[in-house]
Structure 1
């Protein structure tokens, strides 16, 4: 369960329906071309929080079929509807996903005891492993070391997707829990996570730039930090341009240019502005994506 995991993109048509063949092509691109170690399915990059339960299940099934045991699979089942999270967790477990993950419940100001109960309910109902998805900038939920201590007491909580810039807390978690999995969640900060001892990373840009992410990890593990920084510099040049043009729209357009039917984004997200298509082509050319 270590290494680089793509936060999987999902192609949609103009009516918001899943493009099954396109999704299969995106899975293959990640496995065959980017050579990732795993796929993180139905996270933010899959536009998950705009989907129906049935769409989420369809994505889990299609990805499982196309992957066919090639790489590790993590199913993000988090929802502020706990019944839905349990239902999705059971379904993904039946499909053979290697672990579940769940974003901390958001929008309402849940207490830590409510958050802890949320995770324990999903684990108890499914019997599967759980990776906490901590992304305080979007959920408004910041957990301290003592709260992670409580969550990690459950042996089924095997790790955390740590999308946070607090590297002091990351260092404290790494020291205290050498046997728990810690995944870096910020692609642009990957090198700092690797230096801090993360076991892997989960990111959206790995759909098009996974090879460089793997290179950063490998160079750091070999002690070649200066070389790793050079790869991170290039990676961040790419990320800056992608963010400037529109994150998910640009990632999908890059895949389209590569011959993959990555579809469009689900409303209320807008499609890529046609005036930006030449800039995306230049991005692909300049960075050999």
Structure 2
């Protein structure tokens, strides 16, 4: 399960329905062109928190059908509704996903015992492994080393998607739990995380920059830090330009430049105006 995983985008039509043809094209582009090791499905980048349970199932279906066994697949099933998270975990497991993942429960200020019960309830329902999705900036859930350790006591919890800039905590987790998988979640910090010996990364910009990200990771693993730093600089120039223009709609426009039917973002995300579309095309020309 080690390696680089794309936080997979989903193609939607103008009414917000899943564009199956476009989704299949995104899957194939990531596998065949970006050559990533796996796909992280129905995460934040897939606009997961804007879609219905049935749409989530549809996406799990289409991705598995298109990808087959070409790459590893991780299904993000986390939801505020625990019954839904359990149902999605069972659904993705039955489809043959290699692992499930779940964002920490958010919005309400859950205490750690509630968070732990959330994960254990999901895992009690399936015969599958789970990767914690920790993204404190969006969930407000900050867990310490001891709390990660408590979650890791469940042998089905095999690792964490660590989307946080706290590299002191990252190093402590790496040192304390060498057998658990740690995936870096911030694309712009891939090199820094790789130096701390993470097992891989999961990123949204890998949809268009996967090959370069994989080079950074492999160079760092081989101790070629200077070369990796140069590629991280090039990558961060790309990321800065994308963020300035609008993260998800810009990535979708760049995919369209590459001939991929990436569709639209779901509302309330706004579409790029004409100037934004032009800028996205220029970003693709300058940085890819």
Q: TM-score, normalised by structure 2?
A: 0.99
Partner of 2:76: 76
2:222 and 2:159 mapped to 1: Cα distance? 24
Asked whether 1:165 is paired with 2:143, we answer no
Following superposition of structure 1 onto structure 2, how do residues 92-107 of structure 1 map, counting pairs within 5 Å? Answer: 92-107=92-107
Partner of 2:189: 189
Shift of 1:143: 0.1
Deviation per residue, 1:144-170 (Å, 9 max, x gap) = 011011000110000000001110100
Partner of 1:123: 123
Partner of 1:45: 45
2:248 and 2:137 mapped to 1: Cα distance? 18
1:90 and 1:278 mapped to 2: Cα distance? 43
Following superposition of structure 1 onto structure 2, how do residues 230-249 of structure 1 map, counting pairs within 5 Å? Answer: 230-249=230-249
Give yes or no for contact 2:187–2:205 (8 Å, CA) kept in 1.
yes
Asked whether 1:62 is paired with 2:62, we answer yes
SS in 2 for 1:61: helix
1:27 and 1:261 mapped to 2: Cα distance? 11
Partner of 1:266: 266
Q: How many residues align?
A: 288
SS in 1 for 2:100: strand
2:212 and 2:137 mapped to 1: Cα distance? 26
1:177 and 1:235 mapped to 2: Cα distance? 30
Partner of 2:5: 5
Deviation per residue, 1:164-210 (Å, 9 max, x gap) = 11101000000111110000000000001000110000000000000
RMSD: 0.6
1:252 and 1:272 mapped to 2: Cα distance? 10
Q: TM-score, normalised by structure 1?
A: 0.99
SS in 1 for 2:125: helix
Runs ≥4 residues deviating over 4 A: none
Unmatched tracts of structure 1, length 5 or more: none
2:80 and 2:69 mapped to 1: Cα distance? 30
Unmatched tracts of structure 2, length 5 or more: none
1:281 and 1:49 mapped to 2: Cα distance? 28
SS in 2 for 1:40: strand
SS in 1 for 2:143: coil
Shift of 1:127: 1.9
Shift of 1:221: 1.3
2:261 and 2:163 mapped to 1: Cα distance? 29
